[in-house]
A and B are shown apart, each in its own frame.
Chain A
Amino acid sequence: MSAKGKKIVEVENLSVGYGNNLVLKDINFTVNTGDIFGILGDSGAGKSTLLKHMIGLYNPFSGDVKIFGESIVNCAEYEKNKLMRSFGVTYQGGALLGSMTVGENIALPIETYTDLNKTDILKRIKEKLALVDLVGTEDVMPSELSGGMKKRAGLARALALNPSLLFFDEPSAGLDPITSVELDELLSRLRDQFNTTIVIVTHELASIFGITDTIIMLSKDAKTMVAEGDPKELREKSTSPWVHDFLNRQEHNKAKQNIKYETGDFL
């Protein structure tokens, strides 16, 4: 029986911010197993802030986040650490440890949290690098990789312990369109092959419409989520002018650019 449909992340009445500055309030949503879930919003809406609170890096003002049914907010520190190890996180720039090679970065969680011997660890490293199309980069230092490669290496590290849940902050940020599409395809492949649940934070509409099953939209002005649902349905049927505008206007602009490009009229 497929596990699809089971709640894997539950965000309940979450209010988050830094210091005395409230960034988002009353956030409620659930992420189901096997979904690619998008967190979308305008610049400064608090997408990455929400993600950082969801993965337990910061404590929220109020509310709760449950991952695999366990609260990451109201738990002892050792339980939180244990819970953190059960999912993978990929950061905007990859966040590879600069003093270690790519292979050592991937080996770090494996060596610490598994009993695998050196041969098996090496095998796992190669397997993860192959999964993200970075074969042969084990001995390369992160500083020698391009932006896209760093993100993929970060993804390989996040997958090192075979998590069934993955958080990805801005997968497309700073990447050219081709690399961006390749990364989107990789995420889709991960979901299809391993039934990995993926939560991505992005403002790329192409990624949103290309790979996500469900999205929530955050608004900087409203300081909360203003829409939730299937991205294509929201684009066509949303009654909120802002949501409609956000999901359509940029897409229209992009379509216009494509037409100009194809006809050589873009100059």
Chain B
Amino acid sequence: MQKTLKPNPFVDMVDKIGGAADTIGRDFYFFVCFLGLLLKATKDIIRHPGKLRIKDMLYYMDLCGSQAVPIVLCICYLMGVILGFQFALQAQKVGAEIYVADGVGFSILKELGPFMVAIISTGRAGSAFAAEIGTMKVNEEISALQTMGFSPVGFLVVPKLLAMLLTMPILIVFGDFAGLLGGFTVGVTMMDLTPVAYIDRTFEVLLPSTLTMGVLKGLVFATIISLVGCMRGFQSTSDAQGVGRSTTSAVVTSIFLVVVADAILTRLYTMWGY
């Protein structure tokens, strides 16, 4: 008679931990190789700027930048409104309504503006990069590039990365402006603050460095989103489900890494006194 093995929860747990560690190890190894190829391709493009695919870069600037402006404005405005409401409720208790401008301004410029733009870009650009490269892999376009003597990383990743690095800071400025406008709307309509008082307070407390530090975060986020999106695309298996999985993984990994990066940057900024 065949003996059935009883499931052992401990063995299962060890198995799962081992599997997860193996996946993380492989991902890390792949990332190091990918980064090496990217640095090599970047060096090559710096030495021969003619190799940069400017047309592709402009296409991605349009895709990740100008086409994202309406959704960035809309979401950041609403985020400003939500924050304004929350600050207003607390500020009214102590009669400190004017500080709504401080709360909204700092939250948007230092954290939520860059973060929301990063989340939107992950959904729009990161997933698009992974799906595009994954599909190219399925269609053997990546192999075709290789056999024509092109570096797929240089050809496909560098234009996307540059486009994101150029557009993300601009999107963050737009997002910041929309968020401040959201707070302003709440301050003026709910708190009986005059527009001039709200704007004066905003300019009084927010320094150019507040905006700059938030925008600088955007450069880090742009790098994370484009590299993770492209890397997941290259990791995709050559089938439709594989492309789907790589796209999902690109979004999840990017959001996780953006949050981790944001936490680290916020800590660093605090240490430096910003």
Interface-lining segment among B147-155, B170-178, B259-267: B147-155
Across the interface, A95 reaches (CB within 8 A) one of B51, B141, B149, B150, namely B141
Interface size class of A (residues with CB under 8 A): 20 to 34
> B22 at interface (Cβ–Cβ under 8 A)?
no
Q: Considering the chains assembled together, what is the distance between the CA atoms of A98 and B134 in angstroms?
A: 13
B150 close to A112 (CB less than 8 A): yes
Q: Considering the chains assembled together, what is the distance between the CA atoms of A130 and B146 in angstroms?
A: 26
Nearest CB of B to A128, in Å: 14
CB neighbours of B51 from chain A (8 A):
112
Main secondary structure of the interface of A (DSSP, over half): loop
CB neighbours of B139 from chain A (8 A):
93, 95, 98
B143 close to A91 (CB less than 8 A): yes
Across the interface, B148 reaches (CB within 8 A) one of A85, A92, A93, namely A85
B144 close to A91 (CB less than 8 A): yes
> A25 at interface (Cβ–Cβ under 8 A)?
no
Nearest CB of A to B27, in Å: 16
B148 close to A84 (CB less than 8 A): yes
> A140 at interface (Cβ–Cβ under 8 A)?
no
A89 close to B147 (CB less than 8 A): yes
B140 close to A84 (CB less than 8 A): no
Q: Considering the chains assembled together, what is the distance between the CA atoms of A92 and B143 in angstroms?
A: 11
> B111 at interface (Cβ–Cβ under 8 A)?
no
Would A92 and B140 be within 8 Å (CB), given that A84-B148, A109-B148 are in contact?
Answer: yes
B146 close to A57 (CB less than 8 A): yes
B143 close to A84 (CB less than 8 A): no
Q: Considering the chains assembled together, what is the distance between the CA atoms of A98 and B146 in angstroms?
A: 16
CB neighbours of A112 from chain B (8 A):
51, 148-150
Across the interface, A84 reaches (CB within 8 A) one of B59, B135, B136, B147, namely B147
CB<8 Å pairs between A and B, sample of 21: A52-B143, A56-B146, A56-B147, A81-B149, A84-B148, A89-B143, A91-B140, A91-B143, A91-B144, A95-B140, A96-B141, A97-B141, A97-B144, A98-B139, A99-B56, A99-B59, A109-B148, A109-B149, A112-B148, A112-B149, A157-B144
